[in-house]
Amino acid sequence: MSKVKICTRFAPSPTGSMHIGNLRTAFYAYALAKHSNGDFILRIEDTDKKREKEGGVEDIKRLLGIFNIKWDEFYVQSERLDLYNKAAERLVKEGRAFYCQCEAKNAKEDGFSKDLRDPCRDKNLTSGAIKLKVPDNEGVGFTDFVINKKVSWSTNIVGDATLLKTDKFPTYHLAVVVDDNDMKISHVLRGHDWMPSTPIHLLVYKYLGFDVPQIGHLTDIMDPDGGKLSKRKGSTSVQGLLDEGYLPDALFNFVILLGWAPKNNQELFNLNSFVKDFDQSGFQKSNPVFNRDKLDWFNGQYIRKLSIEELINKLNLENTSKNKSIVSLIQDRIKKLSDFNSLTSFFFEKPEVDTKLFGENYKKHLRKAIEGIQSERDLMEVVKENDFKTGDFFMDLRIAITGVKFTPPINESIAILGKEEGLARLNKFI
């Protein structure tokens, strides 16, 4: 028997800026398909028009593009309403769903009925919203391929979910089943928060006579302080993290290891090596923690791998010889691109110096430094000759030149600034 082609999809709703958890789902779904030369589909789930954000679709495409994720097929649910309407009407005809005219009144915020069994279910109405007629006392279940466990429910806890709204738009529950079937999705991969919807979907699959695909729910990404990931300590949106100065390569590498691990201890992955090594059994069962220090570490690794030219480009700098020298001086020292400005602003403008930062001997230190620089001597010799404390001497020099205590190496910095500018900054204080 020939193996069924693997086909996965990423199915975001264009309702806001893409979260790091969604990006992770996209990477895993992509790798799962591409590892076996399968297809990866991008499907926009835009059936909730009220929550849609303008430019949301373009944004999703742009962000996936930044990470080189390419899709084989592309669909937009709002362009496929016919399909969902037909499926819903069929379910009514076959006694598996019913028209309801108290949809809004009887709906909680998440779209579920306030009562599990809807008052309209036995009224035989002929128009309105369409809801699933959930049977009592039955079991529904599936084996989750991420956590590798059988999950089951009694239908007694499953509500008569809305499938089609009065505006003829489907809800997620109907559209997801119709589309996953229509698009021949072999593996459905989604976040753990969708687990409560799965029993509804399983009933819809059954009543529409569709084969149930493999379904897997990814772990939740946790905050280092406990609980689900929150924005307290910085951005958790993909764009926000890019804006903070994380490189796409670093973000990719960090994200794929939040919930998946290779068989060996390899840590550095790019898209190609991840696809090649991807293996479903690498999905972790416990919730990963979003560790920013680890992300910083990855980012540092990828910044060091860049050529000076590449780094100049990423920093949006002009390719001048001064910029090249500055960039090579800080390449080993920055964790994020956004560290660049604070570390190097003194090269581009005269610093504001708080004289309280100087040590008590600063005048003596600066005077001797000026003499040393003028006669092009090694400043270490100046320190020894005058019996200065090395740390104190260079700290005063650093503060006078840069205004701050943490900077790139000061000798090299003065060389880049130029002797004249260096001397001018020192002379100001004596």
Q: Measured between alpha carbons, how far is 120 from 160 in angstroms, rounded to an integer? A: 10
Residue 204: name the closest of 131, 309, 260 by CA. Answer: 131
Q: How far is the CB of 138 from ligand GLU (least distance, A)?
A: 23
Residue 320: name the closest of 288, 357, 347 by CA. Answer: 347
| SS3 category, 98 | strand
Q: How far is the CB of 159 from ligand GLU (least distance, A)?
A: 18
Q: Does 210 bind ligand GLU (CB under 6 A)?
A: no
| SS3 category, 377 | coil
Q: Measured between alpha carbons, how far is 323 from 312 in angstroms, rounded to an integer? A: 8
Q: Does 14 bind ligand GLU (CB under 6 A)?
A: no
Q: Does 12 bind ligand GLU (CB under 6 A)?
A: yes
Q: Does 190 bind ligand GLU (CB under 6 A)?
A: yes
Q: Does 13 bind ligand GLU (CB under 6 A)?
A: yes
Using the minimum distance from each CB to ligand GLU, give the nearer residue, 45 or 144: 45
Instruction: Name residue, tokens 């991420």.
Output: 146
Q: Give CA angle at 388 (385, 391), nearest 5°.
A: 130
Q: Does 176 bind ligand GLU (CB under 6 A)?
A: yes
Q: How far is the CB of 18 from ligand GLU (least distance, A)?
A: 10
Stretch that binds ligand GLU, among 9-17, 337-345, 348-356, 404-412 (CB under 6 A): 9-17
Q: Does 194 bind ligand GLU (CB under 6 A)?
A: yes
Using the minimum distance from each CB to ligand GLU, give the nearer residue, 77 or 113: 77
Q: Measured between alpha carbons, how far is 97 from 122 in angstroms, rounded to an integer? A: 10
Q: Shortest Cβ contact with ligand GLU: which residue? A: 190
Q: How far is the CB of 206 from ligand GLU (least distance, A)?
A: 18
Q: Does 45 bind ligand GLU (CB under 6 A)?
A: yes
Q: How far is the CB of 332 from ligand GLU (least distance, A)?
A: 39
Burial class (CB in 10 A: 0-12, 13-18, 19+), 319: exposed
Token couple for 141: 């279940």
Partner residues linked to 141 by β-bridges: 152
Q: Measured between alpha carbons, how far is 133 from 335 in angstroms, rounded to an integer? A: 55
Q: Measured between alpha carbons, how far is 208 from 289 in angstroms, rounded to an integer? A: 39
Q: Does 297 bind ligand GLU (CB under 6 A)?
A: no
Q: How far is the CB of 19 from ligand GLU (least distance, A)?
A: 9
Stretch that binds ligand GLU, among 5-13, 50-58, 267-275, 350-358 (CB under 6 A): 5-13
Q: Which amino acid is present at 236?
A: T
Using the minimum distance from each CB to ligand GLU, give the nearer residue, 23 or 343: 23
Q: Does 11 bind ligand GLU (CB under 6 A)?
A: yes
Q: Do 139 and 155 form a contact (C-beta atoms < 8 A)?
A: yes
Q: How far is the CB of 144 from ligand GLU (least distance, A)?
A: 13
Q: How far is the CB of 45 from ligand GLU (least distance, A)?
A: 4
Partner residues linked to 40 by β-bridges: 8
Binding-site ranges for ligand GLU (CB under 6 A): 11-13, 45, 176, 190, 194
